[in-house]
Chain A
Amino acid sequence: MTQVAAPATVATSFDGVTVEAAAGGPMQLEQRGQELWAEFGDPDDASLASDTRVAPVRPRRIRRQVVMTTGSHNQQIFWYTTGNSRVLGQLPAIWLTAEQTWIPRRAAIMAPPSAAHHSETGAWNGICLSCHATAAQPRFDTPFGSRPIGEQSADSRAVELGIACEACHGPGDTHADANRNPLRRYTLHFTRAADSTIVQPARLDSRRGSQVCGQCHSFWEFANAAAEREANAHGLPYRPGDDLAATRFVVQPTSNLETAAMREFLAADAGFIRDIFWSDGMIRATGREYNGLIESPCFARATAASRTLTCFSCHTMHKADDDPRPLRQWADDQLSPRAIGDAACAACHTMDDAHSHHRAGSSGGSCENCHMPHTTYGLLKTIRSHQISSPSVQATITTGRPNACNLCHLDKTLAWTADRLAEWYGSARPALGADEQSVAASVLWLLKGDAGQRAIIAQAMGWRAAQDASGAGWLAPYLALTQKDQYDAVRLIASRSARTLPPFRRDQLPRGSAALLITSDGTFDAARVNRLVRERNNRPLVYRE
């Protein structure tokens, strides 16, 4: 949600507040009538280019008016006028909605602590506004990022802040003109005919309809420099109903890894797809759900339009009148009342206990817990993968992606999962190393995994269903260890999960649980824990959230 900043639209008080958790020194907030102001260290001060964590520097202080906010459900980001044309800067701290606290902006991004200081000035104009405003035009004088932001100017414009009608339904002037005629409106009501003057995404074919969402919920790049220049001057050319791929390069390693465009992107940035896709091409960053959808068998292999998974199979952008849930609850994931629980899957699939091998109504018997596990990360939390898949130990071994079984059965090994899948579904048992056979998969990912894997497990440890299935008594020490992680984001998630646990009692540790590295006397096998931590995948990981 993008809003003009005002006392009524900010999620927290600006009235005489000092925020210590801000890069560049404490941030002083001030409310002057309806205006919001902030004094803080200038994120564009050249002295910040050095690594501030090794030798903290105090940038020059600036005082700016806060004019706009983005976000609301998870976090709120604040934008200030820079004094340079319409270029906006971003306050160095953001507000976390659930935690009701400020954190440094940098801590909200999954990025290694060694990452160089990165100013977000101009990011609104050059990047954010294309999806956080409707019919937006960046209008930079030179391509965003081609020169230092202080040397650039922008005359950015948008039809409306936030995602308004025309973002999904296309230009509406013809529609509004035509429907001034009441006879036309009533004829359309009674015949239930499609209104040719406007795009109704749910009436489009499954691909085009989902692309309406995919215009923002996909990982894409400009096909070439000319397309970027055109979008800078006139806005993105895509309109709802168009073929998204006609005007932009939708990055999908499973289908366009070998294209010339992809080779160019990879030549410019070797990490272009590495940190946003699992190695088998499944998207691993939140906000790119279209990439997951189009790889799903329910979409890609569907044989009839009526049985093709689309965004609208589960989600609705307008709360139904007969939806009894409170607005805030619906708005959390904008699920259609027809898609709550297993209902969306049941539209095509027949469910029974024999398939899931879990009790009906239990968390293990839920379609989504097995086929849409929380393996996608963004906004300081994990969300369900939107690529429908089945648990596979082989895929886990190949990609490192935690599987649904071990995300709930946190105390079980990969070997245990391989046995269950072989017994229940005839899956082949892949060759497993000694650790995979003897140590709980969650422990391995938490100790050895990359930052993304650690975030996924840290959140799973706070999941009530997993705690019930795995026992909660042994989780606290591992979450305490994870609260010392190098990555701010991982630490924050671990802290959040730790708050879901009952007070730790050593006598509740499962003594002699080799899989959990707990010895018979109730202590941890320090040697193995330390070895696994030493073997950790410390590859710097930056999610493109």
Chain B
Amino acid sequence: MGPGTTGTVDYAARHLRVGWRALLVFATLGLILESLQGFKVAAYLDVSNETRRLMWRLAHAHGTLLGVINVLFAFTLKSSSSPPPAAPRISIALVAATLLLPLGFFLGGAWFYAGDPGVGVVLVPLGAVALLAALFWIARSTRN
């Protein structure tokens, strides 16, 4: 059993995998958004689509940032001799945040109502709570 492994689960490997894949997906989304901008696609750039533009930019930014956080968490686990006892719930919360936050923003921009994001945006506060919980547990486990 190596560093970052609890029981049969290798959390470091899991978060490296999730982190780099999130970076791939959300960096690609960034490229797509740049293309929409470059080709002046009305569905993205029209004044009436400002909500979509904001939501999708937030999806790109949050997804990329959460990818980085996953990678950082994986290296944190690898740098410690043994994973913290809270590792299972940190892992679940972090993966949930990585999915819910960008997905909520993306869906909120895919269907929206005038100045309000679509109902998919309800995933965002759930993801935010998961992220904050994960960060809290990570911070607490590193205090010593």
Contacts and interface: CB of A to CB of B under 8 A. Distances in A.
11 contacts: A182-B116, A185-B113, A185-B116, A186-B113, A186-B116, A186-B119, A189-B113, A189-B116, A321-B46, A321-B48, A321-B49
Given A186-B113, A189-B116, A321-B48, 8 more contacts: A182-B116, A185-B113, A185-B116, A186-B116, A186-B119, A189-B113, A321-B46, A321-B49
Which 10 residue pairs across A and B have the least CB separation, nearest first?
A189-B113, A185-B116, A321-B48, A189-B116, A186-B116, A182-B116, A186-B119, A321-B46, A185-B113, A321-B49
A186 B116 CA distance: 8
A185 B115 CA distance: 10
Contacts of A185: 113, 116
A185 B119 CA distance: 12
Interface residues of A, number: 5
A178 to B, nearest CB: 14
Interface of B: 46, 48-49, 113, 116, 119
Interface string A174-187: 00000000100110
Nearest to B42: A321
B96 to A, nearest CB: 23
Contacts, number: 11
B98 to A, nearest CB: 25
Interface of A: 182, 185-186, 189, 321
Contacts of A321: 46, 48-49
Nearest to A321: B48
A189 B116 CA distance: 9
Nearest to A182: B116
A321 B48 CA distance: 8
A58 B119 CA distance: 68
A189 B111 CA distance: 12
A182 B49 CA distance: 19
Nearest to A324: B42
A373 B103 CA distance: 54
A189 B113 CA distance: 7
B131 to A, nearest CB: 21
A321 B113 CA distance: 12
A203 to B, nearest CB: 16
Nearest to B113: A189
A497 B119 CA distance: 55
B43 to A, nearest CB: 8
A135 B131 CA distance: 48
A421 to B, nearest CB: 46
A185 B116 CA distance: 8
Contacts of B119: 186
A186 B122 CA distance: 11
Nearest to A185: B116
Contacts of B48: 321
Nearest to A189: B113
A72 B46 CA distance: 22
A186 B112 CA distance: 11
A114 to B, nearest CB: 49
A182 B117 CA distance: 11
A189 B119 CA distance: 10
A6 B49 CA distance: 29
Contacts of A182: 116
A84 to B, nearest CB: 39
B51 to A, nearest CB: 12
A276 B125 CA distance: 61
A186 B114 CA distance: 11
Contacts of B113: 185-186, 189
A182 B116 CA distance: 8
A325 to B, nearest CB: 12
A26 B51 CA distance: 50
A185 B114 CA distance: 10
Contacts of A189: 113, 116
A299 to B, nearest CB: 30
B123 to A, nearest CB: 15
A182 B46 CA distance: 24
A87 to B, nearest CB: 35
Nearest to A188: B113
Contacts of B49: 321
Nearest to B119: A186
B88 to A, nearest CB: 34
A189 B115 CA distance: 11
Contacts of A186: 113, 116, 119
B114 to A, nearest CB: 8
A204 B108 CA distance: 31
A357 to B, nearest CB: 42
A186 B121 CA distance: 12
B126 to A, nearest CB: 16
A82 B25 CA distance: 62
A172 to B, nearest CB: 14
B36 to A, nearest CB: 16
A185 B117 CA distance: 11
Contacts of B116: 182, 185-186, 189
A189 B114 CA distance: 10
A337 B113 CA distance: 21
B109 to A, nearest CB: 14
Nearest to B46: A321
A185 B48 CA distance: 18
A526 to B, nearest CB: 59
Contacts of B46: 321
Nearest to B122: A186
